[in-house]
Amino acid sequence: MKQRLIRILSFAVLLSTNFNAQTFNNFFRTKDRPDNLEDFDLKKFSYGFYLAANNFDYKMVLNPTYGMDGNQNLVESKATYSFGAGLIGKMRLNEFLDLRVEPGLHFVQRDLTFNTFDHINELYPNGVLLPNGTYSQVITDLNETYTKRIVKSTYIDIPILLEVHGDRWYNSRPYAAAGIDYLVNLQSNQTSEDDNLLNTFRTTTHNFGWSAEIGIQFYFSRFKLTPAIRGTFFTNNELVADKAETPPYWTPAISTMQTRAFMLVLKFE
């Protein structure tokens, strides 16, 4: 009886070990097999499009005389959420590297508030002396026409990104990308003859920056879907100064102003 019990237990252990080994091997063989679009990433060129939810804001360095009162910032920027869309062009470099060009169009709005009036009027009650020997206008009857600026921008964004990715796992693959951007602001007002005295805030038309992105590529039977997070940071000063005779309530309060943007991107290839 004892020997029979030992044989039964030995057979059960052997059967269990064999079953577990087969299950283990089948599981990992299934996990490593690229079921969907197996040859998609072997193409030299591929194309697609993307949609983006954006959050654009200004990073500002304020002038210590006009833009700050002690440690208090007198100019505030409020970001709003917006959207964008674009096209994707990809060139395969090797097994782990791709070169991507993703031109897009982004519609942006930012709200600027200038709390500089009381401070500057206290410093210069008769106005600021201008190069021509006259004094700038003093504005005391404050309303939102003077203190608020709604800055609308339409950016044509042309980023060139180098993408590095890992191996496929099931039907997914993580990646990271970084590169440079050239951005044209179609609503910059750079060449406008009006400035903030006439309620026109001016910025540069041609801009440069860099981007960084992380995401996961998911492979379906007919297309590849990629949710990603991207950050874009301008490197040039976008501010266009007001005219010399305009009071220093607005652009003189800002030393540099650069866009920083964060995007949630959905790519379809």
CATH number of the structural domain spanning residue 150:
2.40.160.20
Q: DSSP character for 96? A: S
Query: Same domain, yes or no, for 66 and 167?
Result: yes
Q: Give the count of domains, the chain.
A: 2
Residue 21, domain extent: 1-33
In 3-state terms, what secondary structure has residue 17? Answer: helix
> Is residue 73 a contact partner of residue 257, using CB atoms and an 8 Å limit?
no
Q: Which of 215, 216, 188, 182 is nearest to 200 (CA)?
A: 188
The type of residue at 18 is N
Same-domain pairing of 26 and 105: no
How many Cβ atoms sit within 10 Å of the Cβ of residue 96? Answer: 11
Three-class secondary structure of residue 68 per DSSP: strand
Name the burial class of residue 251, with classes exposed (0-12), middle (13-18) and buried (19+) by CB atoms within 10 angstroms of its CB: buried
Q: Looking at the structure, tell me whether residues 50 and 63 fall in a common domain.
A: yes
Question: How many Cβ atoms sit within 10 Å of the Cβ of residue 114?
Answer: 22
Residue 189 zone, left/alpha/beta (φ > 0; ψ -120 to 50; rest): left
For position 33, what pLDDT does the model report? 55
pLDDT in tens, the chain (269 residues): 444 434 433 444 344 444 344 433 443 445 555 477 777 788 899 999 999 999 999 999 999 999 999 899 999 999 889 999 999 999 999 989 999 999 999 999 999 999 999 999 999 998 888 878 888 889 888 888 999 999 999 999 999 999 999 888 888 899 999 999 999 999 999 999 999 999 999 999 999 999 999 999 999 888 899 999 999 999 999 999 999 999 999 999 999 999 999 999 999 99
| Helix, strand or coil, per DSSP, at residue 82 | strand
Task: Please state, in angstroms and rounded to a whole number, the distance separating the CA atoms of residues 237 and 58.
Answer: 11
Q: Are residues 71 and 2 in the same domain?
A: no
Asked whether residue 198 falls in the same domain as residue 105, the answer is yes
Residues 12 and 55 in one domain: no
